[in-house]
Structure 1
Amino acid sequence: MQVFESHRSPSPGPLIVVLGPSGSGKDTLMSYARNEFGDRSDVLFVKRAITRPADAGSEDHIAMTDAEFDASVDGGAFSLTWAANGLRYGLPRALEAHLASGGLAVVNGSRGAWSIIRQVFPSAVAVEIKVDPDILAQRLEARGRESASEIEARLRRAQALDNGFEADVVIDNSGEVTAAGAALVAYMAQAIAEAQAG
């Protein structure tokens, strides 16, 4: 992984970074939470810029070519960028103003980039989505996007990242989505209450 740039000042609002292997249900749980919080102006679900077509997966992201991504980097559009799995990711600069106003933001992150995310955003907390390895393998196979060898490589990478990572909060998404979704919503509500009280 290569981090490109990270220049900003600390922000008071909490940033919840949802982390976990591909297939763990991060986007599904974030959609669940988005439905619960509706149009609240103090809660921002961050849309990442990714060098991947908009129809290449379930995540709602800003699709960019490498040239467009380079131009955005040069123009200072991102607070932070990183590369993983052959793709490049960027967090929009607008995130800073939201956090600076005391709002809560939620973003789909990367465990491999967590250390630099925490440096750039000191208010960040890691919420890891865990799934039983057998269930994770079934989910990856069911979505039909990767070969058996690619799925095995993803599972090996997930295990390697698990071994060197410690989250602030762990949510088990091996069962019903509603249970894990409710856990994420409850944690977000707690973070909002603590930010308002502090």
Structure 2
Amino acid sequence: MSGSQRIGPGTFVPVVGPSGAGKDTLIRLVADAFADHSGVRFARRLVTRPADSATEDHDSLSEAAFARMVGADDVALHWRAHGLGYAIPLIVDDWIAAGAVVIANLSRKAIPTVADRYSTVTVVNVTASPDILRARLEGRGRETGADIEERLTPVPITIPDGVELVEIVNDREPEAAARLLQGVVERHIREAVRQPAE
């Protein structure tokens, strides 16, 4: 899917960044702010791992179910990382086609696929210092020492042409970083309102 075939006119806002950066926390805070706004949607990931409600927000599925959905082209996006399968539900395409701003926690490696699938994409890269990332990963108690080291290994971020990148440092209180993410969403809402007149 490319060029004029990309899905629009809505905007996809992938929230990316290293494990422990606090992406799900920021997304939850922003979701609360837009709870009554029909033009803002939050896509829940499908992951081949049980959800830990304290630290992440996703729907779980088996490896077999993941393989079936991907094989049937029944997901909008999918990728694998850290031995797990991840996917974004196909309903996202309908939301974007209807003009919504859609926010989702995504892998950095999925950005090129997102840019090829949707006409307007703003990547929000959430980061934090290595010490804070390590403390958060150790605090959630989900990974072993080797897993933590793997997740702390820097991953380059590739931004395709025509894709906006917004950097958010989430080193302090999450409410401050969430306000920055909320500002990105609000800007796209304003642009969507202006679009018909242009």
Same fold (TM over 0.5): yes
Q: What runs of 5+ residues in structure 1 fail to find an aligned partner?
A: 1-5
1:155-179: CA deviations, max 9, x gaps? 11xx1x14x4456100110011111
- Alignment partner, residue 141 of structure 2: 144
- Alignment partner, residue 38 of structure 1: 35
Pairs aligned (count): 189
Structure 1 position 182, deviation (Å): 0.8
- Structure 2 distance, partners of 1:146, 1:178, is 26
TM-score, normalised with respect to structure 1: 0.87
- The one-letter code sitting in structure 2 at the alignment partner of 1:68 is A
Contact 1:80 1:120 in 2 (8 A): no
More strand by share: 2
Pair 1:95 & 2:98 matched = no
- The one-letter code sitting in structure 1 at the alignment partner of 2:70 is V
Pair 1:176 & 2:173 matched = yes
Pair 1:61 & 2:58 matched = yes
Runs of 4+, deviation exceeding 6 Å: none
- Alignment partner, residue 184 of structure 2: 187
Q: Secondary structure at the match of 1:76?
A: coil
- Structure 2 distance, partners of 1:188, 1:95, is 16
- Structure 2 distance, partners of 1:15, 1:165, is 16
- Structure 2 distance, partners of 1:131, 1:55, is 21
Contact 2:6 2:119 in 1 (8 A): no
Q: For 1:8-87, what aligned pairs fall within 5 Å after superposition?
A: 9-55=6-52, 58-87=55-84
1:82-141: CA deviations, max 9, x gaps? 111111111111111111111110000111221122112232211000101111111111
TM-score, normalised with respect to structure 2: 0.87
- Structure 2 distance, partners of 1:51, 1:98, is 24
